[in-house]
Amino acid sequence: MKRLFVAAMAVVSATMFAPLASGETPKQGGAAVVTFNNDLTTLDPQVGYDWQNWSVIKSIFDGLMDYKPGTTELEPDLAKEYTVSDDGLTYTFKLRDGLKFHNGRPVTAADVKYSLERAVNPATQSPGAGYFSMIKGHDELSTGKAKEMSGIATPDDKTVVFTLTRPDATFLHLMAINFGFVVPKEEVEKAGADWGKKPVGTGAFKFVEWVPGQHIVLERNQDYHRAGVPYLDKLTFEFGQDPTVAVLRLGKGEVDIVGDGIPPAQFAQIMADPANKDLIAIGDQLHTGYVTMNVTQPPFDNLKVRQAVNMAINKDRIVRLINNRGVTATQPLPPAMPGYNRQNKGYSFDPEGAKKLLKEAGAENISTELYAMNVDPNPRIAQAIQQDLAAIGIKAEIRSLAQAEVIAAGGSGKAPLVWSGGMAWIADFPDPANFYYGILGCAGVVEGGWNWAKYCNKDFDARAAKADAMVKSDQAEARIAAWQGIFDDVLKEAPWAPVFNEKRFTYHSARLGGDPALFTDPIHIPVNYDYIYAKDGK
Amino acid sequence: MQDFWNRFRRDRLAVIGLATILLLLVLGLFAPAIAPYDPNQQFFDGLTLEGSPLPPGERFWFGTDTNGRDQFSRLLYGARTSLLIGILANGIAVIIGSFLGVTAGYLRGTAGAAIMRLTDLMMAFPPLLLAIALAAILKPGLAIIIVVIALVNWVQIARVIYSETVGLSERDYIEAARALGAGPLRILIRHLLPHLVPTITVYATLGIATTVLLEAMLSFLGRGVQPPTPAWGMMIFESQSYFLSAPWLVFIPGAAILILALSFNLVGDGLRDALDPTQRDRSG
Amino acid sequence: MIGYIARRLVASVMILIGVTMVTFALTFMIPADPVAMLAGRNATAQTREQIRHQLGLDRPLPVQYAAYVGRLAVGDFGKSYARKSDVGDLIASRLPPTLLLMLGAILAELMIGIPAGIYAASRRGGSADKVAMTLSFVTVSTPQFVVGLTLLYVFAYLLSWFPLSGYGSLSNLVLPALTLGMAGGGWYSRMMRSSMIEVLRQDYIRTARAKGMAEGRVLLVHGLRNAALPIIAMIGLDIGIFMSGVVVVENVFGWPGIGQLMWQAIQSLDIPIIMGVTTVAAVFIVLGNFLADLIAPLIDPRIRLR
Q: Which residues of A touch B228 (CB under 8 A)?
A: 383, 386-387, 398
Q: Phi and psi (nearest 5°) for A235?
A: -135, 125
- Residue A466 above 70 pLDDT? yes
Task: Please calculate the CA angle B131-B136-B141 and round it to the nearest 5 degrees.
Answer: 60
Residue C305: pLDDT band (50, 70, 90) is: low
Closest CB to B242 among A265, A321, A374 = A265
Average pLDDT over residues C6-28: 82
CB contact under 8 A, A412 and C39: no
Express each pLDDT in C64-122 by its tens digit: 888 888 888 888 888 888 777 889 988 998 999 999 999 999 999 999 998 898 888 88
| 3-state SS record for chain B | CHHHHHHHHHCHHHHHHHHHHHHHHHHHHCHHHHCCCCCCCCCHHHECCCCCECCCCCCCCCCECCCCCEHHHHHHHHHHHHHHHHHHHHHHHHHHHHHHHHHHHHHCHHHHHHHHHHHHHHHCCCHHHHHHHHCCCCCCCHHHHHHHHHHHHHHHHHHHHHHHHHHHHCCHHHHHHHHCCCCHHHHHHHHHHHHHHHHHHHHHHHHHHHHHHHHHHHHHCCCCCCCCCCCHHHHHHHHHHHCCCCCHHHHHHHHHHHHHHHHHHHHHHHHHHHHCHHHCCCCC
Q: Read off the pLDDT of residues A472-493 as tens digits, 9 standing for 90 and up.
A: 888 899 999 999 999 999 999 9
Identify the pLDDT of residue A341: 95
Query: Using a CB-CB distance cutoff of 8 angstroms, which residues of chain C are in contact with residue B156?
Result: 234, 237, 241
The chain C residue lying nearest B158, using CA atoms, is C233
Confidence of residue A227 (pLDDT cuts 50, 70, 90): confident
User: Residue A383: which of B67, B132, B245 has the nearest Cβ?
Assistant: B67
Across residues A136-152, what is the average pLDDT? 92
CA angle in degrees (0–180, nearest 5) for A95-A101-A102? 150
pLDDT > 70: percent of chain A: 95
The radius of gyration of chain A's CA atoms, rounded to the nearest angstrom, is 23
| C152 → chain A, closest CA residue | A245
pLDDT of residue A534 exceeding 80, the answer is yes
pLDDT attached to residue B278: 53
> Which of B140, B227, B243 is opposite residue A379, by nearest beta carbon?
B227
Of A49, A142, A439, the CB nearest to C46: A142
Partner C, chain A 54-83, Cβ-Cβ below 8 Å:
none
State the nearest Cα–Cα gap between A506 and chain B, in angstroms. Answer: 17
| C interface test, pick of B125, B196, B258 with most C CB neighbours within 10 Å | B125
Residues from chain B that touch C209, judged by Cβ atoms under 8 A, are: none
Least confident of A173-177, A241-245, C47-51, C108-112: C47-51
Three-point CA angle B102, B105, B107, nearest 5°: 100
Chain C residue closest in CA terms to A403: C267
pLDDT reading at C269 higher than 60 = yes
**Structure confidence by residue, pLDDT tens digits, C153-165:** 999 999 989 988 8
Average pLDDT value for residue range C9-27: 82
Give yes or no for a contact between A440 and A427, defined as CB atoms under 8 angstroms apart: no
Chain A neighbors of B48, CB-CB under 8 A: 268
Q: For residues B198 and A485, which has the higher predicted lDDT (pLDDT)? A: A485
For A269, name the nearest residue in chain B, comparing CA atoms only.
B245
For position C270, what pLDDT does the model report? 84
Chain B nearest-CA residue for A314: B44
Mean pLDDT for all residues in chain B: 83
Chain C residues closer than 8 Å to A409 by CB: 31
CB A290 within 8 A of CB A498: yes
CB-nearest to B237 from C138, C143, C229 is C143
Residue-wise pLDDT for A335-385, tens only, equals: 999 999 999 999 999 999 999 999 999 887 899 999 999 888 899 999 999
What residues in A contact B245, CB-CB < 8 Å?
265-266, 268-269
* Interface residues of chain A, partner chain B, Cβ below 8 Å: 244, 263-269, 271, 314, 317, 320-324, 374, 376, 379-380, 382-384, 386-387, 397-402, 405
Q: Is the pLDDT of residue A11 over 80?
A: no
Q: What is the mean pLDDT of chain A?
A: 90
Task: Please report the pLDDT score of residue A488 as a whole number.
Answer: 96
Is A10's pLDDT higher than 50? no
Q: What ipTM was predicted for this assembly?
A: 0.83
Predicted confidence (pLDDT) at residue A453 exceeds the cutoff of 90: yes
| Angle, helix B71-83 to helix B193-220, in steps of 10 degrees | 130
Percent of chain B clearing pLDDT 90 (strictly above): 22
Question: For B36-95, how does the pLDDT look when each residue is reduced to its tens digit (9 = 90+)?
Answer: 999 999 998 888 888 889 999 999 999 999 999 999 999 999 998 888 888 888 899 999
**What pLDDT shows up at residue C47?**
76
Q: What is the pLDDT of residue B13?
A: 82
Q: Over range A391-406, report the average pLDDT.
A: 90
Element (H, E) at A33: strand A31-35
Q: Is A180 on the interface with C (CB under 8 A)?
A: no
Give the CA dihedral B224, B225, B228, B231, nearest 10 degrees. Answer: -110
Residue contact A131–C42, C-beta within 8 A: yes
The answer to whether the Cβ–Cβ distance between A196 and C83 falls below 8 Å is yes
The whole-number pLDDT of residue A95 equals: 96
For the segment A195-209, what is each residue's pLDDT rounded down to a tens digit?
999 999 999 999 999
Mutate to test the interface with B, among C19, C141, C225 (most CBs of B within 10 A): C141
Does position A62 have pLDDT exceeding 60, yes or no? yes
Q: How far is CA C194 from the centre of its chain?
A: 24
Specify the DSSP class assigned to residue C42: T
Determine contact, residues A86/A99, Cβ cutoff 8 Å.
Answer: no
Predicted local confidence at residue A238, as pLDDT: 94
pLDDT of residue A17: 40
Contact residues on chain B for A397, CB-CB shorter than 8 A: 226
Asked if pLDDT for residue A423 goes beyond 80, the answer is no
Q: Is B133 on the interface with A (CB under 8 A)?
A: no
Distance CA C27, CA C35 (A): 14
Look at residue C6 and tell me whether its pLDDT is greater than 50: yes
Q: Is A431's pLDDT higher than 50? A: yes
Nearest CA in chain C to B215: C143
